[in-house]
Copies of this chain bind each other. A is one copy, B any other.
C-alpha cells in the first residue's frame, strides 16, 4: 500500500516516489478530486526528507496528474487516472524492453526469457502469508 523506496537503486528517490504515486493513481488508490497526503506526511511514511517528496510532487504537477491548491494541498486532476494508466503502461513496456534486450544480448533464448517471465509473474501474483 505504502510506496516502496529502494535506496540502493540508481533511480533517484524523488523519481521512485513519482513512479509509485503514478501507479497508485493508475490503480485507483487516489481518485479524481482527492487530495494526496501532504508532502510532510508522505515524507514520514517513506522515511525521506520532505524536500524530496516536494520535488516528486512538482514533477507530477508538471505531468498534469495533480494540481496544487495553495494552502490546501495537492489534488488529483480529472484526467489523472487516464494519463497515469498510459504513463504506467509505457513505463512497464520500457522496462520489459530493457529486460528482453539484456537477456538476448547475454545469449538467452526467447523461450528461456518467457520461462523466467512466467515464473516471476507467478511469484508476484501468488498470495503470500507473511507479506510485511
List the interface of chain A (C-beta within 8 A of B).
Answer: 7, 10-12, 15, 19-20, 22-24, 26-28, 49, 62, 70-71, 84-85, 88-89, 91-93, 95-108, 110, 113-114, 116-117, 120-121, 124-125
Contact = CB atoms under 8 A, between A and B. Distances in A.
A84 B7 CA distance: 25
A106 B23 contact: yes
B106 A99 contact: no
Contacts of A49: 71
Given A104-B124, A110-B125, 11 more contacts: A23-B107, A24-B105, A27-B107, A88-B103, A88-B105, A92-B102, A93-B120, A95-B99, A96-B96, A96-B117, A100-B117
Nearest to A26: B106
A107 B85 contact: yes
A88 B106 contact: yes
Contacts of A100: 117, 120-121, 124
